[in-house]
Structure 1
Amino acid sequence: MGPPNQVDGNAAPQVDITVVGAGIIGICCALALARQGLKVQVLDKQAPGMGASFGNAGHMATEQVFPIADASILTRLPGMLMDPMGPLRLDWRHLPRALPWFTRLLLNLRQAPYAHSVRGIRALNEVSLCAWHKLLDTAGGRHLLKSDGSFLVHETPDTATELQAIKARMADHGVTVEAWKGDAIRERAPELSARVQGGLFFPDTGHVVNPYSVSELLVAAARQHGVCFHQREVTRARLSEHGVTLTTADSGTIQTPRVLLACGAHSAPLTAELTGVRVPLDTERGYHLMLPREAHRLPLAVTSLERRFIMTPMREGLRLAGTVEFAGLQRPANMQRAWQLHRLTQGLFRDPLSAEGATPWMGFRPSLPDSLPIIDSVQHGKVLLAFGHHHLGLTQAAITAEMIATLATPERTPSFQSLPEPAPYRLNRF
């Protein structure tokens, strides 16, 4: 792993728009805005490509068209509170702050809002891979994305019925999905054990060989288009007569004609200051464990239905990810949740996976209770918003950038012709 991208030393003398957030969403948006002819600078307290964008599962999850929870969350809530190692964990100390968010989540499980969320997620996911191919082709990075599909596998007869229900439900919503027997799956992924009885194959998915490498490539492309990156923490924001005034932790104030908030799980306070809207944003704390000695165990991403985690092959190893914890932004990481992912692999492979040299990680995924991101232009175009993509940030980053570029420059012809309708992602739904 190379060192983080170095930030530029001097502030741009003039910019048309300042992007707050240098994760994959902010990077993609900055590049798209610059290609529309705007002068862009990006501010983040971390180097570009760090945070949640550094440690995501690397899976282009276009098959995941359903909200982050369904009605079963009601029966699972006691286990979420009691089991610190469970796949979905709610820290009891975060419960008072999380209750309003979970209340909204439950309200969105009603038939009409749930169907609205599915349509909105699906509209983004259906064009996400196409947008990524276009973006990476223009940056010379198609080799970083493997469009090889992915598996959801099961191990017991008891889960075969559940798997068939998943297949039918996904097919009903336009997801291309195939049922495969265990032997056929092992022909594609020979290292998997005989415990795998069958699964679903999603041909229209893929994975990146390293999420950070994707960020590095796009940062370099953005710099070639004049984008400046500065490692500065934005702490306050207010509208001014000529645009937006940003207060930084260490560099005073910055005046900018327009701002794009793309700072993920940290976006809510700045959004409230600039719009008056208190968005119900919480964070899914996601964990991964990177196994550097297992880079060639799988040729494509594989998710376990029973064990509820994903394994993605990358250049530097096999990344195990998928555990979710609701514990807010302030509590320290519980890295035992990352190491638990290695224990979950036991029995899935013909030979045990080596954890020698393994590295754990935790990051914050921004989640809204309707599972739809905010992608919008408000305050007469002075404020643009692109956050709340929960565990689909990587998947939806390229298409989000196309939508933001169109919102920022409505007078120009869109460079991407299959943009989703913007209504489901507007701020005014809150």
Structure 2
Amino acid sequence: MSDPDIVVVGAGIIGVACALQLARQGRQVLVVDQQEPGMGASYGNAGHLATEQVFPIADLSILKRLPGMLLDPMGPLRLDWKYLPRALPWFLRLLLNLRPASYQRTVAGIRTLNEGSLGAWQRLLHSIGRPTLLRKDGSLLVYEQAHSRPALEALQQRMQQQQVPVDYWSGEAIRQAAPQLSDNLQGGLFFPGTGHFLDPYQVVCELVQAAKASGVQFLKRRVLDGRVEGDGVSLTTDQGHLMASQVLIACGAHSAALTAALTGKQVPLDTERGYHLMLPHEQHRLPFAVTSLERKFIMTPMSDGLRLAGTVEFAGLKAPPNMARAWQLHRLSKGLFREDLSARDATTWMGFRPSLPDSLPIIDRVCEGKVLLAFGHQHLGLTQAAVTAEWVGELASTKPTQPLAPYRLDRF
């Protein structure tokens, strides 16, 4: 293989989308990953195009929830006590970023990406002839307890202040749209500007095929180290060396070490471990994604079943998965439907969401343009992948014009 023009490290949804964008700009692109494309977090995400989620991953209430996070292994937000010493500096940074000015910068940054996400996805899927992989049919946040309504109304007001399209639905309106949901639901918020993917892994596979047709090559290797040199970037892999004019780091939760090697910058990247439970006999229960306000999880209809997802666990990259957390999602679903969901033939999964303490990704061009960065999208990697690819295409050019703030590496 001749030296590529640009090496993309990471074959998840963001890396593959970026590779396709770069190849269409005439670049000779090589994608390198230790796994097959799409087999990381991109395989098992909730499938929700979450353009409505413009707020950071946590707020000040996390201080009150910390004891429960440490003591309840099945809670929706869990911190493994053995991981606490490693996680504490990250959580302190998170709290500092909840100060008003920092918080507003984060909200503005997430909103900017999310506002461009739906259009970017529609352009991308149309360009590969697969627009039907995304359904733009909205999503619903429901509540069951009357005392939850003030919190729901406060959230609706905050959403409206951020220009997020949102409508209040009564319980009756919910049952008309989704008749299999329980009569106990009091109401909810409907977000018309959202949607869901019928199969997130298939989306990656379709983009891989389009990328290969555009000349992108894929290599299954583990990148161990790298350095910036005068005429480009050298990467050390478990099967030899690679050389390119540019490198794009897009390997999600595994991006910190290579970023440090190439740029000298220690990035405070941690991982939110997410679980899902796939119910293969329930694909027709819901017409769109539904989230429970009180139970804090999401249910997304897909071509192969109904996917329950949404828990967060801080335990690092090395601890084994606790699949009891995935099965807990089925218990959480009880009472939300007229008839309980079937867990027959259900499958479990756990993956790593790459998260930075200010809830914003790093999308940047550094080292005189030799190193590009696109990682740290937390829960919004699928949502923001297509718009990130368009931005990376701009950054990879010789004269980029895309404004980078507040996504720059040097903010840390």
* TM-score, normalization by structure 1: 0.95
Query: Is 1:254–2:254 an aligned residue pair?
Result: no
**Structure 1 partner of 2:411:** 429
Please list the CA deviations of residues 231-283 of structure 1 after superposition, one character each: whole Å capped at 9, or x if unmatched: 1110111112221111112x111111110000000000000011111000000
Please list the CA deviations of residues 370-408 of structure 1 after superposition, one character each: whole Å capped at 9, or x if unmatched: 000000010001100000000000000000000000000
**Structure 2 partner of 1:95:** 84
In structure 1, distance between residues paired with 2:175 and 2:154 = 23
**Aligned with residue 244 of structure 1, among 206, 218, 233:** 233
**Aligned with residue 302 of structure 1, among 290, 305, 310:** 290
**Structure 1 partner of 2:126:** 137
In structure 1, distance between residues paired with 2:309 and 2:112 = 25
**Structure 2 partner of 1:177:** 166
**Structure 2 partner of 1:160:** 149
**Structure 2 partner of 1:232:** 221
The answer as to whether partners of 2:3 and 2:242 remain within 8 angstroms in 1 is no
In structure 2, distance between residues paired with 1:96 and 1:75 = 19
**Structure 1 partner of 2:71:** 82
Query: Is 1:389–2:371 an aligned residue pair?
Result: no
**Structure 2 partner of 1:325:** 313
**Structure 2 partner of 1:109:** 98
Alignment partner of 1:120: what SS?
Answer: helix
Give the letter aligned to residue 306 of structure 1.
E
In structure 1, distance between residues paired with 2:404 and 2:390 = 12
Following TM superposition, by how much is the alpha carbon of 1:14 offset from its aligned partner in structure 2, in angstroms? Answer: 3.1
**Structure 2 partner of 1:43:** 32
Please list the CA deviations of residues 131-161 of structure 1 after superposition, one character each: whole Å capped at 9, or x if unmatched: 0000000011100000000000000101011
In structure 2, distance between residues paired with 1:13 and 1:291 = 45
Q: Identify the range of structure 1 (13-22 vs 385-394) with the bigger mean alpha-carbon deviation.
A: 13-22
**Structure 2 partner of 1:400:** 388
Give the letter aligned to residue 124 of structure 2.
L
**Structure 1 partner of 2:279:** 291
Query: Is 1:26–2:26 an aligned residue pair?
Result: no
**Structure 2 partner of 1:3:** none
Alignment partner of 1:396: what SS?
Answer: helix
Alignment partner of 1:372: what SS?
Answer: coil
In structure 1, distance between residues paired with 2:113 and 2:157 = 21
In structure 2, distance between residues paired with 1:156 and 1:411 = 54
Note the aligned Cα RMSD (angstroms): 0.9
**Structure 1 partner of 2:328:** 340
Following TM superposition, by how much is the alpha carbon of 1:182 offset from its aligned partner in structure 2, in angstroms? Answer: 0.7
Gaps of 5+ in 2: none
**Structure 1 partner of 2:136:** 147
Please list the CA deviations of residues 53-78 of structure 1 after superposition, one character each: whole Å capped at 9, or x if unmatched: 00000000000000000010010011
**Aligned with residue 375 of structure 1, among 363, 366, 379:** 363
Aligned-pair identity in percent equals 66
Following TM superposition, by how much is the alpha carbon of 1:411 offset from its aligned partner in structure 2, in angstroms? Answer: 4.4
Alignment partner of 1:204: what SS?
Answer: coil
Alignment partner of 1:425: what SS?
Answer: coil
Gaps of 5+ in 1: 1-11
Give the letter aligned to residue 401 of structure 1.
A
Following TM superposition, by how much is the alpha carbon of 1:410 offset from its aligned partner in structure 2, in angstroms? Answer: 4.2
